[in-house]
Amino acid sequence: MNPNPVDLHCHSRHSDGVLSVSELIKHAAAQQIQMLALTDHDTLAGIDEAQTLARGHEMLLIRGVEMSATWGSHTVHVLGLDIDLHTPELRRILADIQDLRGKRAEDIASKLERCGIADAMQHTVVEAGHSEITRTHFARMLVHQGHCKDLTQAFKRYLGQQGKRAYVKTQWPAMQTVIAAIHAANGQAVLAHPMSYKISSRQRRALVEEFAELGGNGIEVSAGGAQNPQNIKLAADLAREFGLCASQGSDLHDPIQRWLRFGRLMPIPEDLAPIWTQFRYQRAAA
Ligand code: AMP
Ligand code: MN
Ligand code: MN
Ligand code: MN
């Protein structure tokens, strides 16, 4: 038995994960995950297939998405969990974000070309296939073309943040707009990986406060990329202070990133309400 069989954040090849949907579901089943949310960046493309395949493993597939949003001058990620797929408001905003991603990709490629990286866009399109183009695809291209030794170096040198050689600032929809679209789709809005943003602790508190004021439902308390007792405590304190539910997710992109494996999450503190108590199948049972 997996002691912690819930994972509400992961990526497939429809965004920047390396596994196809079917490989991802198989991988999750092998780790004895019982409830899985597929949360690709700004696309719902993999959900129908994931849902069909999960049934064959008696796994509950939660329909999800990880949306890019702007808070002040910062990019933040908001998960929409337990969403309806056919809500026009949500689909419209996702289409807008996909357009922004396409335009940003062209700008990133131009900057890389100016750094002497030939055919940056063509090579990156090959990396991305039919998926949304993310910075991860640019990073993989830089590694595969021999410009960087690994993804970390690619982000550090070129892509990571304002000031890097190929960083392009993008005005994603406002956090408020994204939360409203998730609510229009009857979903739960969850602030992803709150401890991973490069902001001060005072700003982090202001971010979570505003997220709650805007009607946000929960924050990731146990988040794969930033798993340690200190971060869990700080995020749990913020959830308590602002009356938010707690979520947990590995943010799995690639199963070789062993620290982000499915089902290896530290549990969320017991006094916090898990976000999945708000999912519709739970509410119907209550
Ligand atoms: P994007 O949404 O296109 O701006 O790309 C953001 C994605 O890049 C994140 O979801 C991560 O998967 C990845 N990423 C960001 N920073 C790093 C990093 N330092 N190393 C590896 N991957 C990163
Ligand atoms: Mn990603
Ligand atoms: Mn994210
Ligand atoms: Mn993610």
Q: What is the DSSP secondary structure assignment for residue 225, as one 8-state letter?
A: G
**Nearest-angstrom CA–CA distance, 230 and 78:** 22
User: E-assigned strands of 135-252?
Assistant: 188-191, 218-223, 245-249
- 172 C-alpha to ligand 3 centroid (Å): 14
- pTM (global) more than 0.85: yes
Query: What residues flank ligand 1, with Cβ below 6 Å?
Result: 16, 41, 68, 134-136, 151-152, 155, 160, 253
Backbone angles phi, psi at 221, to 5 degrees: -90, -40
- 284 C-alpha to ligand 2 centroid (Å): 32
**Digitized pLDDT (tens) for each residue of the chain, 286 residues in all:** 788 899 999 999 999 999 999 999 999 999 999 999 999 999 999 999 999 999 999 899 999 999 999 999 999 999 999 999 999 999 999 999 999 999 999 999 999 999 999 999 999 999 999 999 999 999 999 999 999 999 999 999 999 999 999 999 999 999 999 999 999 999 999 999 999 999 999 999 999 999 999 999 999 999 988 789 999 999 999 999 999 999 999 999 998 876 567 777 999 999 999 999 999 988 777 6
Cβ neighbour number for residue 1 with a 10 Å cutoff: 6
